[in-house]
Structure 1
Amino acid sequence: MGPSAAASSVLILLLLLGAVVDAQPRGRILRGWEAQPHLRPYMASLQLDGKHICGGFLIAPQWVLSAAHCTEQMGDKHFQVLLGAHSLSAPEPHKRLYNVKAQIAHPGSNIHNNRDDLLLLQLEEKAELNEHVKVLPFQREDREVAADTLCDTAGWGTITHSGKRPDRLQEVQRPVISRELCNHRTRHDRTITEKMMCTDSNKKDTCKGDSGGPLVCNGVAEGVVTAGSRVCGNYKKPAIYTRIAPYAEWIDSIMASRDGDEDVATR
Protein backbone atom coordinates (compact mmCIF):
# COMPACT_ATOMS: atom_id res chain seq x y z
CA MET A 1 0.00 0.00 0.00
CA GLY A 2 1.44 3.35 -1.04
CA PRO A 3 1.59 6.47 1.17
CA SER A 4 -1.50 7.94 -0.48
CA ALA A 5 -3.58 4.79 0.06
CA ALA A 6 -2.37 4.50 3.65
CA ALA A 7 -3.32 8.11 4.35
CA SER A 8 -6.77 7.52 2.88
CA SER A 9 -7.27 4.46 5.07
CA VAL A 10 -6.30 6.40 8.19
CA LEU A 11 -8.69 9.21 7.24
CA ILE A 12 -11.58 6.79 6.74
CA LEU A 13 -10.84 5.14 10.09
CA LEU A 14 -10.83 8.51 11.87
CA LEU A 15 -14.13 9.47 10.27
CA LEU A 16 -15.71 6.20 11.37
CA LEU A 17 -14.41 6.65 14.91
CA GLY A 18 -15.74 10.20 14.93
CA ALA A 19 -19.18 8.95 13.91
CA VAL A 20 -19.15 6.46 16.80
CA VAL A 21 -18.15 9.17 19.29
CA ASP A 22 -20.88 11.53 18.04
CA ALA A 23 -23.44 8.77 18.48
CA GLN A 24 -22.81 8.51 22.21
CA PRO A 25 -25.59 9.92 24.45
CA ARG A 26 -23.59 12.72 26.01
CA GLY A 27 -25.15 15.89 27.38
CA ARG A 28 -28.52 15.71 25.72
CA ILE A 29 -32.14 14.69 26.17
CA LEU A 30 -32.13 11.71 23.89
CA ARG A 31 -35.28 10.47 22.20
CA GLY A 32 -37.49 13.09 23.72
CA TRP A 33 -39.86 14.96 21.44
CA GLU A 34 -41.54 18.31 20.93
CA ALA A 35 -44.55 18.69 23.20
CA GLN A 36 -47.98 19.28 21.74
CA PRO A 37 -48.39 23.07 21.85
CA HIS A 38 -50.04 24.36 25.02
CA LEU A 39 -51.03 20.95 26.41
CA ARG A 40 -48.81 21.72 29.41
CA PRO A 41 -50.30 25.11 30.31
CA TYR A 42 -48.63 25.11 33.72
CA MET A 43 -45.09 25.30 32.31
CA ALA A 44 -43.00 28.39 33.07
CA SER A 45 -39.71 29.64 31.67
CA LEU A 46 -37.54 31.45 34.24
CA GLN A 47 -35.61 34.11 32.39
CA LEU A 48 -32.78 36.57 32.95
CA ASP A 49 -32.19 39.33 30.42
CA GLY A 50 -34.56 37.62 28.00
CA LYS A 51 -32.78 34.25 28.13
CA HIS A 52 -34.20 30.98 29.43
CA ILE A 53 -32.35 29.80 32.55
CA CYS A 54 -34.58 27.22 34.22
CA GLY A 55 -38.02 25.72 34.14
CA GLY A 56 -40.82 26.04 36.65
CA PHE A 57 -44.56 25.53 36.92
CA LEU A 58 -47.60 27.41 38.14
CA ILE A 59 -48.97 26.04 41.43
CA ALA A 60 -51.27 28.97 42.26
CA PRO A 61 -52.34 32.06 40.28
CA GLN A 62 -49.51 34.16 41.73
CA TRP A 63 -46.94 31.45 42.50
CA VAL A 64 -44.43 29.39 40.52
CA LEU A 65 -42.42 26.49 41.93
CA SER A 66 -38.88 25.83 40.69
CA ALA A 67 -35.42 24.73 41.92
CA ALA A 68 -33.33 26.76 44.38
CA HIS A 69 -30.03 26.12 42.59
CA CYS A 70 -31.35 28.13 39.64
CA THR A 71 -30.57 31.29 41.63
CA GLU A 72 -26.85 30.59 41.93
CA GLN A 73 -24.65 33.49 40.83
CA MET A 74 -27.66 35.78 40.31
CA GLY A 75 -26.65 38.38 42.87
CA ASP A 76 -29.55 40.75 43.54
CA LYS A 77 -31.30 40.02 40.26
CA HIS A 78 -34.80 38.58 40.06
CA PHE A 79 -36.14 36.30 37.38
CA GLN A 80 -38.90 37.17 35.01
CA VAL A 81 -41.40 34.37 34.38
CA LEU A 82 -42.79 33.54 30.95
CA LEU A 83 -46.18 31.82 31.01
CA GLY A 84 -48.42 30.58 28.22
CA ALA A 85 -45.50 29.75 25.92
CA HIS A 86 -44.72 26.88 23.59
CA SER A 87 -42.16 28.75 21.52
CA LEU A 88 -39.84 31.05 23.45
CA SER A 89 -39.54 33.45 20.50
CA ALA A 90 -42.67 33.31 18.35
CA PRO A 91 -45.80 35.38 19.07
CA GLU A 92 -48.48 33.30 20.79
CA PRO A 93 -52.02 34.23 21.90
CA HIS A 94 -51.65 34.01 25.68
CA LYS A 95 -47.89 34.25 26.15
CA ARG A 96 -46.91 36.85 28.73
CA LEU A 97 -43.81 37.77 30.71
CA TYR A 98 -44.37 38.48 34.41
CA ASN A 99 -42.11 40.32 36.79
CA VAL A 100 -41.26 38.61 40.08
CA LYS A 101 -42.14 40.25 43.39
CA ALA A 102 -40.25 37.76 45.56
CA GLN A 103 -38.15 34.65 45.07
CA ILE A 104 -37.80 32.47 48.13
CA ALA A 105 -35.40 29.54 48.25
CA HIS A 106 -35.96 26.84 50.83
CA PRO A 107 -33.75 27.70 53.84
CA GLY A 108 -32.16 24.23 53.76
CA SER A 109 -30.92 24.57 50.19
CA ASN A 110 -27.24 25.16 49.41
CA ILE A 111 -24.74 24.86 46.58
CA HIS A 112 -22.94 21.84 48.04
CA ASN A 113 -25.67 19.22 47.62
CA ASN A 114 -29.15 18.61 46.19
CA ARG A 115 -31.07 18.81 49.45
CA ASP A 116 -34.17 21.02 49.82
CA ASP A 117 -33.71 22.26 46.27
CA LEU A 118 -36.96 24.23 45.98
CA LEU A 119 -37.66 27.82 45.00
CA LEU A 120 -40.94 29.74 45.23
CA LEU A 121 -41.49 32.72 42.95
CA GLN A 122 -44.23 35.20 43.74
CA LEU A 123 -45.39 37.06 40.64
CA GLU A 124 -46.09 40.78 40.91
CA GLU A 125 -49.68 40.05 39.98
CA LYS A 126 -51.89 37.01 39.58
CA ALA A 127 -51.47 35.26 36.25
CA GLU A 128 -54.36 35.51 33.86
CA LEU A 129 -55.64 31.95 33.73
CA ASN A 130 -56.95 30.65 30.41
CA GLU A 131 -56.66 27.61 28.12
CA HIS A 132 -52.89 28.16 27.80
CA VAL A 133 -52.15 29.18 31.41
CA LYS A 134 -53.31 26.83 34.16
CA VAL A 135 -52.31 25.69 37.63
CA LEU A 136 -50.84 22.20 38.07
CA PRO A 137 -51.91 20.22 41.17
CA PHE A 138 -49.02 19.01 43.31
CA GLN A 139 -48.84 15.93 45.51
CA ARG A 140 -49.63 16.47 49.19
CA GLU A 141 -49.76 12.87 50.38
CA ASP A 142 -46.29 11.92 51.58
CA ARG A 143 -45.98 8.55 49.91
CA GLU A 144 -43.52 6.98 47.53
CA VAL A 145 -44.25 6.75 43.83
CA ALA A 146 -43.96 3.07 42.93
CA ALA A 147 -40.95 1.96 40.90
CA ASP A 148 -41.69 1.59 37.19
CA THR A 149 -44.43 4.24 37.31
CA LEU A 150 -44.20 6.08 34.00
CA CYS A 151 -43.94 9.84 34.55
CA ASP A 152 -43.15 12.74 32.28
CA THR A 153 -41.33 16.03 32.38
CA ALA A 154 -40.80 18.90 29.99
CA GLY A 155 -38.56 21.89 29.45
CA TRP A 156 -36.57 24.15 27.19
CA GLY A 157 -33.22 22.72 28.36
CA THR A 158 -30.21 21.50 26.40
CA ILE A 159 -30.95 18.93 23.68
CA THR A 160 -27.46 18.27 22.26
CA HIS A 161 -24.02 17.62 23.70
CA SER A 162 -22.87 20.89 22.13
CA GLY A 163 -25.31 22.82 24.33
CA LYS A 164 -28.01 23.56 21.75
CA ARG A 165 -31.24 24.84 23.30
CA PRO A 166 -34.66 24.37 21.69
CA ASP A 167 -37.04 27.22 20.95
CA ARG A 168 -40.10 25.02 21.47
CA LEU A 169 -41.03 23.01 24.55
CA GLN A 170 -39.68 19.46 24.65
CA GLU A 171 -40.94 16.53 26.73
CA VAL A 172 -39.84 13.06 27.73
CA GLN A 173 -41.35 10.11 29.62
CA ARG A 174 -39.29 8.17 32.15
CA PRO A 175 -40.00 5.34 34.60
CA VAL A 176 -39.42 5.89 38.31
CA ILE A 177 -36.67 3.77 39.83
CA SER A 178 -36.45 2.73 43.47
CA ARG A 179 -34.44 4.78 45.93
CA GLU A 180 -32.46 1.65 46.74
CA LEU A 181 -31.33 1.32 43.12
CA CYS A 182 -30.68 5.05 42.79
CA ASN A 183 -28.53 4.92 45.95
CA HIS A 184 -26.42 2.01 44.73
CA ARG A 185 -22.69 2.70 44.89
CA THR A 186 -22.53 2.61 41.08
CA ARG A 187 -25.32 5.22 40.83
CA HIS A 188 -25.64 8.05 43.36
CA ASP A 189 -23.92 6.19 46.21
CA ARG A 190 -26.26 6.82 49.18
CA THR A 191 -26.81 10.54 48.52
CA ILE A 192 -30.52 10.25 47.67
CA THR A 193 -32.59 11.11 50.75
CA GLU A 194 -36.22 10.27 51.50
CA LYS A 195 -37.14 13.71 50.19
CA MET A 196 -35.78 12.86 46.74
CA MET A 197 -36.78 10.47 43.97
CA CYS A 198 -35.17 9.25 40.76
CA THR A 199 -36.08 8.22 37.24
CA ASP A 200 -34.21 6.02 34.81
CA SER A 201 -31.86 8.07 32.61
CA ASN A 202 -30.83 5.49 30.01
CA LYS A 203 -30.60 7.52 26.76
CA LYS A 204 -33.71 9.56 27.64
CA ASP A 205 -33.13 12.25 30.24
CA THR A 206 -33.48 15.83 31.41
CA CYS A 207 -30.49 18.14 31.00
CA LYS A 208 -29.15 21.62 31.75
CA GLY A 209 -31.92 24.20 31.60
CA ASP A 210 -34.67 21.72 32.52
CA SER A 211 -34.07 22.23 36.25
CA GLY A 212 -37.12 23.47 38.13
CA GLY A 213 -39.61 21.76 35.85
CA PRO A 214 -42.16 19.28 37.23
CA LEU A 215 -42.07 15.50 37.21
CA VAL A 216 -45.71 14.69 36.50
CA CYS A 217 -47.13 11.28 37.41
CA ASN A 218 -50.81 10.54 36.78
CA GLY A 219 -51.56 14.24 36.23
CA VAL A 220 -49.95 15.43 39.49
CA ALA A 221 -46.58 17.11 40.11
CA GLU A 222 -44.65 14.64 42.28
CA GLY A 223 -41.19 16.18 42.00
CA VAL A 224 -39.08 19.09 40.79
CA VAL A 225 -36.10 18.54 38.48
CA THR A 226 -33.07 19.22 40.63
CA ALA A 227 -29.35 19.68 40.17
CA GLY A 228 -26.89 16.91 39.51
CA SER A 229 -23.32 16.87 38.26
CA ARG A 230 -23.99 14.13 35.76
CA VAL A 231 -23.74 13.38 32.08
CA CYS A 232 -27.25 13.59 30.64
CA GLY A 233 -28.48 10.29 29.26
CA ASN A 234 -26.04 8.20 31.32
CA TYR A 235 -27.90 5.23 32.85
CA LYS A 236 -25.40 5.20 35.75
CA LYS A 237 -26.49 8.69 36.83
CA PRO A 238 -30.29 8.61 37.19
CA ALA A 239 -32.19 11.89 37.09
CA ILE A 240 -32.81 13.37 40.55
CA TYR A 241 -35.97 15.16 41.67
CA THR A 242 -36.99 16.87 44.89
CA ARG A 243 -40.23 15.28 46.10
CA ILE A 244 -42.87 17.96 46.67
CA ALA A 245 -45.15 16.32 49.27
CA PRO A 246 -42.68 16.62 52.19
CA TYR A 247 -42.56 20.38 51.55
CA ALA A 248 -46.30 21.06 51.19
CA GLU A 249 -46.52 22.71 54.62
CA TRP A 250 -43.56 24.98 53.83
CA ILE A 251 -45.06 25.94 50.46
CA ASP A 252 -48.43 26.73 52.04
CA SER A 253 -46.88 28.77 54.85
CA ILE A 254 -44.83 30.93 52.47
CA MET A 255 -47.77 31.65 50.21
CA ALA A 256 -50.13 32.35 53.11
CA SER A 257 -47.66 34.69 54.82
CA ARG A 258 -47.23 36.81 51.70
CA ASP A 259 -50.65 37.06 50.13
CA GLY A 260 -53.27 35.55 52.41
CA ASP A 261 -55.23 32.46 51.56
CA GLU A 262 -54.18 32.01 47.94
CA ASP A 263 -55.97 29.33 45.93
CA VAL A 264 -53.53 26.42 45.98
CA ALA A 265 -53.58 23.42 43.67
CA THR A 266 -54.28 20.35 45.78
CA ARG A 267 -54.94 16.69 45.43
Structure 2
Amino acid sequence: MIRGMMAPLLQLIVVAAIAGEGVLGREAAPPPARATGRIVGGWEVYIGQFPYQLSLEYDGYHICGASAVAPRLALTAGHCCIGTNETDVSVWLTVRGGSSTLEEGGIVFPVKKLVIHPDYDDSNLDFDVCVLRIGGTFQNKSNIGIIQPTSSGTIPSGELAIVTGWGATESNGNFVPNLRSLAVKVWSTKNCTDQAANYMTSSGSMMCAGSVGRSFCVGDSGGPLVYDQRQIGIVSFLINECGGTAPAIYTRLSHRSVRDFIRQQINNDQRRMAQAATG
Protein backbone atom coordinates (compact mmCIF):
# COMPACT_ATOMS: atom_id res chain seq x y z
CA MET A 1 0.00 0.00 0.00
CA ILE A 2 2.62 2.51 1.02
CA ARG A 3 5.34 2.52 -1.56
CA GLY A 4 8.71 2.07 0.12
CA MET A 5 7.06 1.55 3.50
CA MET A 6 4.32 -1.02 2.94
CA ALA A 7 6.27 -4.05 4.14
CA PRO A 8 7.65 -2.41 7.32
CA LEU A 9 4.24 -1.03 8.23
CA LEU A 10 2.46 -4.33 7.78
CA GLN A 11 5.15 -6.11 9.79
CA LEU A 12 4.38 -3.82 12.73
CA ILE A 13 0.72 -4.82 12.95
CA VAL A 14 0.00 -6.29 16.35
CA VAL A 15 -1.08 -9.81 15.43
CA ALA A 16 0.00 -11.65 18.56
CA ALA A 17 -2.77 -10.06 20.61
CA ILE A 18 -5.35 -11.50 18.24
CA ALA A 19 -4.39 -15.11 18.99
CA GLY A 20 -6.50 -17.22 21.32
CA GLU A 21 -10.11 -16.73 22.30
CA GLY A 22 -12.19 -14.20 20.41
CA VAL A 23 -15.19 -12.14 21.41
CA LEU A 24 -18.00 -14.08 23.14
CA GLY A 25 -16.01 -17.32 22.98
CA ARG A 26 -15.64 -17.31 19.20
CA GLU A 27 -12.25 -18.24 17.82
CA ALA A 28 -10.61 -15.02 16.68
CA ALA A 29 -10.37 -14.58 12.92
CA PRO A 30 -7.12 -13.18 11.47
CA PRO A 31 -7.34 -9.41 11.00
CA PRO A 32 -7.48 -7.97 7.49
CA ALA A 33 -4.23 -6.63 6.04
CA ARG A 34 -3.93 -2.95 6.78
CA ALA A 35 -1.41 -0.18 7.24
CA THR A 36 -1.73 2.04 10.26
CA GLY A 37 0.04 5.20 11.49
CA ARG A 38 1.28 6.89 14.68
CA ILE A 39 1.66 10.39 16.06
CA VAL A 40 5.34 11.44 16.24
CA GLY A 41 6.14 14.61 18.17
CA GLY A 42 2.67 15.15 19.65
CA TRP A 43 1.17 15.48 23.11
CA GLU A 44 -1.38 13.62 25.23
CA VAL A 45 -4.95 14.94 25.12
CA TYR A 46 -8.43 14.16 26.48
CA ILE A 47 -11.19 12.77 24.25
CA GLY A 48 -13.49 15.61 25.31
CA GLN A 49 -11.22 17.96 23.36
CA PHE A 50 -11.58 15.83 20.22
CA PRO A 51 -14.91 14.01 20.66
CA TYR A 52 -15.12 13.14 16.97
CA GLN A 53 -12.07 10.84 17.24
CA LEU A 54 -12.92 7.14 16.99
CA SER A 55 -11.01 3.87 17.05
CA LEU A 56 -11.81 1.27 14.38
CA GLU A 57 -11.32 -2.14 15.98
CA TYR A 58 -11.06 -5.69 14.67
CA ASP A 59 -12.06 -8.28 17.25
CA GLY A 60 -11.59 -5.63 19.94
CA TYR A 61 -8.13 -4.51 18.83
CA HIS A 62 -7.34 -1.10 17.36
CA ILE A 63 -6.48 -1.17 13.66
CA CYS A 64 -7.19 2.39 12.43
CA GLY A 65 -8.41 5.78 13.43
CA ALA A 66 -11.78 7.13 12.27
CA SER A 67 -14.06 10.11 12.83
CA ALA A 68 -17.78 10.59 13.50
CA VAL A 69 -19.22 12.61 10.59
CA ALA A 70 -22.96 11.90 10.95
CA PRO A 71 -25.25 10.34 13.58
CA ARG A 72 -24.64 6.82 12.22
CA LEU A 73 -21.61 7.28 9.98
CA ALA A 74 -17.86 7.22 10.56
CA LEU A 75 -15.10 8.17 8.14
CA THR A 76 -11.81 6.30 7.75
CA ALA A 77 -9.23 5.42 5.10
CA GLY A 78 -10.11 3.09 2.26
CA HIS A 79 -7.12 0.86 2.98
CA CYS A 80 -8.47 0.32 6.51
CA CYS A 81 -11.54 -1.33 4.95
CA ILE A 82 -9.80 -3.53 2.37
CA GLY A 83 -9.69 -7.25 3.17
CA THR A 84 -12.97 -7.30 5.08
CA ASN A 85 -15.87 -9.21 3.53
CA GLU A 86 -19.50 -8.80 4.53
CA THR A 87 -19.23 -11.45 7.25
CA ASP A 88 -16.10 -9.84 8.70
CA VAL A 89 -17.84 -6.48 8.87
CA SER A 90 -20.83 -7.74 10.82
CA VAL A 91 -18.89 -10.07 13.13
CA TRP A 92 -15.48 -8.54 13.78
CA LEU A 93 -15.49 -4.80 13.04
CA THR A 94 -16.51 -2.27 15.68
CA VAL A 95 -16.02 1.42 16.33
CA ARG A 96 -15.16 2.73 19.80
CA GLY A 97 -16.01 6.32 20.71
CA GLY A 98 -15.96 8.52 23.79
CA SER A 99 -12.73 7.19 25.29
CA SER A 100 -9.22 8.63 25.51
CA THR A 101 -7.86 5.17 26.33
CA LEU A 102 -6.94 2.69 23.62
CA GLU A 103 -9.23 -0.36 23.51
CA GLU A 104 -10.91 0.56 26.82
CA GLY A 105 -13.91 2.57 27.99
CA GLY A 106 -16.33 4.65 26.00
CA ILE A 107 -19.01 3.04 23.84
CA VAL A 108 -18.45 0.29 21.28
CA PHE A 109 -20.68 0.32 18.20
CA PRO A 110 -20.98 -2.55 15.71
CA VAL A 111 -20.15 -1.74 12.10
CA LYS A 112 -23.12 -2.72 9.93
CA LYS A 113 -21.79 -1.73 6.53
CA LEU A 114 -18.80 -0.12 4.87
CA VAL A 115 -18.60 1.70 1.55
CA ILE A 116 -15.25 2.41 -0.13
CA HIS A 117 -14.90 5.22 -2.66
CA PRO A 118 -15.62 3.72 -6.11
CA ASP A 119 -12.32 5.04 -7.49
CA TYR A 120 -10.16 3.77 -4.63
CA ASP A 121 -6.91 2.24 -5.92
CA ASP A 122 -5.12 -0.10 -3.54
CA SER A 123 -1.88 0.12 -5.55
CA ASN A 124 -1.34 3.84 -4.96
CA LEU A 125 -4.00 4.76 -2.35
CA ASP A 126 -5.79 7.15 -4.68
CA PHE A 127 -9.20 8.16 -3.25
CA ASP A 128 -8.27 6.54 0.07
CA VAL A 129 -11.62 6.96 1.84
CA CYS A 130 -14.24 4.66 3.35
CA VAL A 131 -17.55 5.37 5.11
CA LEU A 132 -18.72 3.08 7.93
CA ARG A 133 -22.37 2.75 9.01
CA ILE A 134 -22.78 1.77 12.65
CA GLY A 135 -25.53 0.12 14.61
CA GLY A 136 -26.94 2.73 16.98
CA THR A 137 -26.11 6.42 16.92
CA PHE A 138 -23.34 8.77 17.99
CA GLN A 139 -25.89 11.39 19.05
CA ASN A 140 -26.35 12.22 22.73
CA LYS A 141 -23.49 10.00 23.83
CA SER A 142 -20.95 11.07 26.44
CA ASN A 143 -17.75 12.51 24.94
CA ILE A 144 -18.81 11.71 21.37
CA GLY A 145 -19.39 14.51 18.89
CA ILE A 146 -19.81 14.85 15.15
CA ILE A 147 -17.38 16.82 13.01
CA GLN A 148 -18.40 18.23 9.66
CA PRO A 149 -16.25 17.35 6.64
CA THR A 150 -15.10 20.47 4.82
CA SER A 151 -17.46 21.85 2.19
CA SER A 152 -14.77 24.09 0.72
CA GLY A 153 -13.03 23.37 -2.55
CA THR A 154 -9.74 24.73 -1.21
CA ILE A 155 -7.38 23.85 1.64
CA PRO A 156 -5.64 26.33 3.97
CA SER A 157 -2.05 26.23 2.66
CA GLY A 158 0.49 27.24 5.31
CA GLU A 159 -1.96 26.97 8.21
CA LEU A 160 -1.69 24.56 11.14
CA ALA A 161 -4.12 21.64 11.27
CA ILE A 162 -4.60 19.02 13.99
CA VAL A 163 -4.18 15.25 13.65
CA THR A 164 -5.05 12.85 16.49
CA GLY A 165 -4.58 9.16 17.26
CA TRP A 166 -3.17 6.36 19.39
CA GLY A 167 -0.14 5.35 17.34
CA ALA A 168 3.32 4.80 18.79
CA THR A 169 5.70 7.71 19.33
CA GLU A 170 8.95 6.11 18.20
CA SER A 171 10.11 3.61 15.59
CA ASN A 172 9.13 0.03 16.41
CA GLY A 173 7.18 1.28 19.42
CA ASN A 174 3.82 0.06 20.66
CA PHE A 175 0.58 1.97 20.30
CA VAL A 176 0.24 4.54 23.07
CA PRO A 177 -2.46 3.93 25.69
CA ASN A 178 -3.83 7.47 25.63
CA LEU A 179 -4.98 9.70 22.78
CA ARG A 180 -2.39 12.12 21.39
CA SER A 181 -2.62 15.20 19.21
CA LEU A 182 -0.23 16.99 16.88
CA ALA A 183 -0.28 20.31 15.01
CA VAL A 184 1.00 19.97 11.44
CA LYS A 185 1.51 22.54 8.71
CA VAL A 186 -0.62 22.15 5.59
CA TRP A 187 1.50 22.23 2.44
CA SER A 188 0.58 24.01 -0.76
CA THR A 189 -0.35 21.81 -3.70
CA LYS A 190 2.80 22.92 -5.54
CA ASN A 191 5.15 22.13 -2.65
CA CYS A 192 3.39 18.83 -2.08
CA THR A 193 3.75 17.84 -5.72
CA ASP A 194 7.39 18.97 -5.85
CA GLN A 195 8.35 16.94 -2.78
CA ALA A 196 6.21 13.87 -3.46
CA ALA A 197 5.98 13.74 -7.25
CA ASN A 198 6.66 10.01 -7.40
CA TYR A 199 3.87 9.26 -4.94
CA MET A 200 1.13 11.71 -5.85
CA THR A 201 -1.53 10.70 -8.36
CA SER A 202 -2.92 12.97 -11.06
CA SER A 203 -6.43 12.91 -9.58
CA GLY A 204 -5.73 15.56 -6.95
CA SER A 205 -7.24 13.42 -4.18
CA MET A 206 -4.11 13.72 -2.02
CA MET A 207 -2.68 16.51 0.12
CA CYS A 208 0.46 16.96 2.24
CA ALA A 209 0.91 18.10 5.82
CA GLY A 210 3.67 17.85 8.40
CA SER A 211 6.91 19.28 9.71
CA VAL A 212 10.38 17.82 10.24
CA GLY A 213 10.17 15.34 13.12
CA ARG A 214 6.40 15.72 13.42
CA SER A 215 4.01 13.35 11.64
CA PHE A 216 1.82 10.30 11.97
CA CYS A 217 3.34 6.83 11.45
CA VAL A 218 2.33 3.24 12.20
CA GLY A 219 -1.02 3.26 14.11
CA ASP A 220 -3.27 6.11 12.94
CA SER A 221 -4.33 5.55 9.34
CA GLY A 222 -7.91 6.66 8.82
CA GLY A 223 -7.72 9.34 11.49
CA PRO A 224 -8.91 12.91 10.95
CA LEU A 225 -6.93 16.00 9.96
CA VAL A 226 -8.87 19.01 11.22
CA TYR A 227 -8.68 22.74 10.55
CA ASP A 228 -11.04 25.40 11.94
CA GLN A 229 -13.49 22.80 13.32
CA ARG A 230 -13.81 21.05 9.96
CA GLN A 231 -12.22 17.82 8.83
CA ILE A 232 -10.02 18.50 5.81
CA GLY A 233 -8.10 15.23 5.50
CA ILE A 234 -7.81 11.53 6.35
CA VAL A 235 -4.48 9.99 7.40
CA SER A 236 -3.33 7.95 4.40
CA PHE A 237 0.40 7.15 4.05
CA LEU A 238 4.02 8.19 4.56
CA ILE A 239 6.70 8.44 1.89
CA ASN A 240 9.60 7.30 4.07
CA GLU A 241 10.59 7.24 7.74
CA CYS A 242 8.28 8.37 10.51
CA GLY A 243 8.88 11.96 11.54
CA GLY A 244 11.33 12.49 8.69
CA THR A 245 11.70 15.40 6.29
CA ALA A 246 9.27 14.15 3.64
CA PRO A 247 5.61 15.16 3.96
CA ALA A 248 2.86 12.90 5.22
CA ILE A 249 0.05 12.22 2.75
CA TYR A 250 -3.64 12.63 3.54
CA THR A 251 -6.78 12.10 1.51
CA ARG A 252 -8.02 15.56 0.52
CA LEU A 253 -11.65 16.03 1.57
CA SER A 254 -11.89 19.22 -0.47
CA HIS A 255 -11.55 17.16 -3.67
CA ARG A 256 -14.92 17.30 -5.41
CA SER A 257 -15.28 13.55 -5.92
CA VAL A 258 -14.36 12.86 -2.29
CA ARG A 259 -16.75 15.55 -1.01
CA ASP A 260 -19.56 14.27 -3.21
CA PHE A 261 -18.97 10.67 -2.14
CA ILE A 262 -19.14 11.52 1.57
CA ARG A 263 -22.16 13.78 1.09
CA GLN A 264 -23.98 11.06 -0.84
CA GLN A 265 -23.42 8.55 1.97
CA ILE A 266 -24.67 11.06 4.55
CA ASN A 267 -27.75 11.91 2.46
CA ASN A 268 -28.51 8.23 1.88
CA ASP A 269 -28.37 7.50 5.60
CA GLN A 270 -30.55 10.50 6.42
CA ARG A 271 -33.17 9.10 4.05
CA ARG A 272 -32.95 5.69 5.69
CA MET A 273 -33.45 7.22 9.14
CA ALA A 274 -36.40 9.30 7.92
CA GLN A 275 -38.05 6.26 6.35
CA ALA A 276 -37.54 4.24 9.54
CA ALA A 277 -39.06 7.04 11.63
CA THR A 278 -42.20 7.18 9.48
CA GLY A 279 -42.61 3.43 9.39
TM-score, structure 1 normalization: 0.79
Equivalent runs, 1:197-212 vs 2, <5 Å: 197-212=207-222
1:214-258 C-alpha deviation (Å, 9 max, x unpaired): 11111111111113453111112x011111132222222223334
Give the whole-Å Cα distance in 2 for the aligned partners of 1:56 and 1:90.
16
- Whether the aligned pair in 2 keeps the contact of 1:106 and 1:117 (CA below 8 Å) is yes
Pairwise CA distance, 1:195:
2.4
Match of 1:169?
179
2:206 aligns with: 196
Aligned with 2:107 (options 96, 106, 122) = 96
Instruction: Give the 3-state SS of the residue equivalent to 2:191 in structure 1.
Output: helix
Structure number with larger C-alpha Rg: 1
Contact 1:158 1:166 in 2 (8 A): yes
2-side partners of 1:105 and 1:86: how far apart? 27
Q: Secondary structure at the match of 2:127?
A: coil
| 2:241 aligned partner | 231
**Which structure 2 residues correspond to residues 1-267 of structure 1 after superposition, within 5 A?**
29-76=39-86, 77-78=88-89, 79-91=93-105, 95-146=106-157, 148-184=158-194, 186-189=195-198, 191-192=200-201, 193-236=203-246, 238-245=247-254, 246=256, 247-260=258-271
Q: Report SS of the residue matched to 2:186.
A: strand
Instruction: Quote how far apart the aligned CAs of 1:62 are.
Output: 0.3
4+ aligned runs moved over 4 Å, structure 1:
none
CA shift in 2, pair 1:218/1:256, >3 Å: closer
Moved more, 240-249 or 58-67: 240-249
Gaps of 5+ in 1: 1-26
Q: 1:144: how far off? A: 2.9
In structure 2, relative to structure 1, the CA distance for the partners of 1:89 and 1:253 (3 Å cut) is closer
**Residues 256 and 262 in structure 1, CA contact (< 8 A), matched pair in contact too:** no
Contact 1:61–1:129, Cα closer than 8 Å, also in 2: no
